């Protein structure tokens, strides 16, 4: 156990020095997470269509690099919103990408740090697909907001969560849950409910109607539903209304910086909603750096909707 504690301390020091927060959990805790997810399905709080679409994220399968995991490591790091400038036929348009989307660099750096500590000690480590928000909340790394986003102390909801697993025994024990997994400031506050552009956040209760969430609509192909107010569009993907209006996030709101620009020709290609393999390498590379390559078939649709939403009196 002394070796496990020493290794866990070394990992903690390395991750903390790089700006990451983390919590440990035994690998068999995935069974509890699965029971919680299945409980939501039985209650009807988690729609079957949504569960089917994201089943890979809900179901844990040990990665090939770590076939017999012993410890889960839930990690969080700062993830600010950013802007991308597009050149349309009219004026340039700066579109916001909410937190958590641009994440591959932070994930790669985290994995590099963990491999430097655990790999050198003879252990394997790899990314693990588990319900990251649920694990983070259960271990105390984060707390749920009424909007179902994860609030990380010192980062707010402007944080990216990820989970890794290792075959090293780091002395983790299943945490004893005391009280609610939701932020204590949520019960008396309903700002997110009142400002949600689609009405998916309940006045009471703890589970949103994800099928109505603008984030889900922005990430999936298809026509916009008739009930969606065209003025709701405000980001290139995802949605930020509940984060912008959350009192717990007031210390973490920052002016978004422009991190990429697409010229008129590149913007015209994006407006075609082409799959990644049909994109020119220059456009594909830029989207890959933004971690948006997988959304190429909806970006043009979203960009046009965002452009119309910014015109007074316009509608879809």
244-268 pLDDT tens trace: 999 999 999 999 999 999 999 999 9
Q: What pTM does this model have?
A: 0.90
pLDDT band at 313 (very low <50, low <70, confident <90, very high): low
Average pLDDT, the chain: 91
Count of alpha carbons within 13 angstroms of residue 208, beta-carbon side = 22
pLDDT band at 74 (very low <50, low <70, confident <90, very high): very high
Rounded Cα distance between 128 and 132, Å, is: 9
Q: Are 156 and 100 in contact (CB under 8 A)?
A: no
Q: Are 53 and 217 in contact (CB under 8 A)?
A: no
Residue 83: name the closest of 94, 72, 92 by CA: 94
Residue recorded with tokens 């301390």: 9
pLDDT at 140 over 80: yes
Tell which wins on pLDDT, 24 or 179. Answer: 24
pLDDT of residue 316: 45
pLDDT of residue 69: 96
pLDDT at 234 over 50: yes
pLDDT of residue 312: 60
Residue 248: name the closest of 187, 309, 160 by CA: 187
269-307 pLDDT tens trace: 999 999 999 999 999 999 999 999 999 999 999 999 999
105-126 pLDDT tens trace: 999 999 999 999 999 999 999 9
Residue 58: name the closest of 69, 47, 68 by CA: 47
């Amino acid at each position: 156990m002394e070796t496990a504690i020493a290794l866990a301390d070394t990992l903690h020091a390395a991750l903390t020095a790089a700006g990451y927060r983390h919590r440990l959990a035994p690998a068999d805790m995935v069974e509890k997470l699965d029971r919680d997810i299945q409980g939501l399905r039985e209650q009807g709080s988690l729609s079957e269509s949504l569960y089917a679409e994201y089943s890979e994220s809900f179901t844990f399968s040990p990665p090939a690099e770590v076939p017999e995991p012993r410890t889960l490591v839930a990690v969080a790091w700062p993830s600010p919103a950013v802007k991308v400038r597009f050149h349309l036929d009219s004026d340039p348009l700066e579109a916001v990408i909410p937190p958590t989307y641009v994440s591959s660099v932070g994930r790669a750096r985290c994995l590099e740090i963990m491999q430097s500590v655990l790999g050198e000690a003879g252990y394997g480590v790899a990314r693990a697909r588990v319900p990251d928000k649920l694990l983070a909340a259960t271990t105390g790394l984060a707390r749920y907001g009424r909007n179902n986003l994860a609030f990380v102390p010192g980062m707010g909801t402007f944080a990216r969560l990820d989970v890794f697993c290792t075959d090293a025994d780091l002395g983790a024990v299943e945490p004893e849950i005391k009280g609610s997994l939701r932020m204590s400031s949520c019960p008396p506050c309903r700002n997110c409910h009142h400002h949600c552009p689609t009405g998916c956040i309940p006045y009471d209760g703890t589970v949103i109607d994800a099928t109505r969430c603008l984030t889900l609509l922005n990430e999936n192909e298809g026509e916009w539903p008739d009930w969606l107010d065209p003025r709701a569009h405000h980001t290139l993907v995802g949605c930020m209304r509940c984060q912008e209006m959350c009192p717990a996030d007031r210390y973490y709101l920052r002016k978004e910086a422009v991190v990429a620009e697409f010229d008129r020709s590149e913007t015209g290609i994006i407006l075609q909603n082409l799959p990644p393999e049909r994109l020119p390498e220059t456009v594909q590379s830029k989207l890959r750096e933004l971690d948006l390559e997988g959304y190429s078939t909806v970006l043009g649709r979203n960009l046009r909707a965002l452009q119309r939403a910014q015109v007074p009196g316009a509608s879809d």
